[in-house]
Amino acid sequence: MKLSIAHGDFAPAVADTARALPARPPAPVLAALKLDAGDGTLTVSGFDYEVSGEATVKADVTEPGTVLVSGRLLADITRVLKAKQPIGLALEGARMVLTSGATRYTLHTLPLEEYPALPKPEEPTGTVSGADLSEAVTQVATAAGRDDTLPILTGIQLELADGKLTLAATDRYRFAVRTIDWTATDPSVEAATALMPAKSLTDTVKMLAGADRIRVTLPGQTGVLGLADPARSTTARPIDGQLPSYGKLWPAQEHINVTVAVDTSELAAAIKRVALVAGGNQPIQLTVTDGQLSLHAGTSDDAQAVDILDAQVDSGVGDFTIAFNPTYLLDGITALATAKTVLWMTERTKPAVLTGADADAALGDLAFGGDALQYLLMPIRLSS
């Protein structure tokens, strides 16, 4: 193998595929990246039996060939090389030589015969906007669990129904749901569900976020989810099982008693201020009055904090108080990424739903539900 390639093409390809490498590889070859040169292109791929990543870029190939080298080391090297210098790769015996200007690295290679074949997904089921999918995954991943002993709760569920793709995640204390537009390429698949590891899916969409359209292959006979654009592709094996049904958790619109719209940046800052006295994730208490939202944390036996914000309020029950975990509340309004945060509440002991709104949105014009992010949050019961 011998080739020359632009740093601006090679470095991103290595960085993207290195996302698929395991932190603790079960075998040395699974810590490697495979470089396959031929026909004016270089394909960089990584695989750990669960997640695969592949990137193809243009290269000036003088000798086709394939080599397997340490992925983390190669990613570290390409990250520090001078961006304006082209990179040369050449296989010399059992070693690969990488050159960039006056800089030269000699890397050990690994046995190709021990490297597993990457899974090949079936034909695409449909396509989605790269920006929409990236945003949706990032938003709902906020609510995914981190406890590996409960693998189902560490996933993001993708559900195809009624011509839309809905993503959802939960850790039992909150539930995030977002729906995006879907363009079918296989009309025979009208409904499907797959639960994907949140971490690997989040890493994948970072690689594909710049794509205009992403081809999506929902798990079928091959049992893998496939995501691809013209230059990048990735696969991942789903988690066995499904998330708990969340439809019944959402309050019906006719049961909403209190609606509050408040400036998101002001609310986030207020939460951070009062949370300073809420040690150990003790609750923050929200009290709704006419035109105001007050935040309170702490106890009479310890430090206390109070902050008051102007808010748009529609309450059919007068003053209203509810309490939340401050971290979960802040995660939700951060995930919304909108100028205003809207809280839809029924009772102080039942889940509230957070949605976003534009800065100039009037409270009376807001609709409950829809395709945008909905973040359901369980309240913390306050002592009487």
Task: List the chain pLDDT tens, one digit each, 384 residues.
Answer: 999 999 999 999 999 999 888 888 888 999 999 999 999 999 999 998 889 999 999 999 999 999 999 999 999 999 999 988 999 999 999 999 999 999 999 999 999 999 999 888 888 999 999 999 999 999 999 999 999 889 999 999 999 999 999 999 999 999 999 999 999 999 888 999 999 999 989 988 888 888 999 999 998 767 899 999 999 999 999 999 999 888 889 999 999 999 999 999 999 999 999 999 987 778 999 999 999 999 999 877 788 999 999 999 999 999 999 999 999 999 999 999 999 999 999 999 999 999 999 999 999 899 998 999 999 999 998 765
Topology (CATH level 3) of domain 2-114: DNA Polymerase III; Chain A, domain 2 (3.10.150)
CATH of 126-247, one of 3.10.150.10, 3.30.300.30, 3.40.50.300, 3.40.30.10: 3.10.150.10
Q: Are strands 155-161 and 126-129 parallel, antiparallel or unpaired?
A: unpaired
Q: How far is CA 35 from CA 17, 48, 60, in A?
A: 11, 16, 14
Q: What does R_g of the chain's alpha carbons equal in angstroms? A: 25
Mean residue pLDDT of the chain comes to: 94
Q: Which CATH class is domain 251-377?
A: alpha beta
Dist. CA 131–CA 44, nearest whole Å: 24
Alpha-carbon distances, residue 96 vs 72, 110, 204, 305 (angstroms): 15, 10, 28, 61
**3 state SS of 331:** helix
- Tokens for 59? 């290269």
pTM of the predicted protein model: 0.91
Report the alpha-carbon distance of residue 359 to residue 341 in Å, rounded.
Answer: 9
DSSP 278: -
What phi and psi values does residue 340 have, to the nearest 5 degrees? -120, 150
d(CA 179, CA 197): 18
What residue ranges of the chain are covered by domains with CATH 3.10.150.10? 2-114, 126-247, 251-377
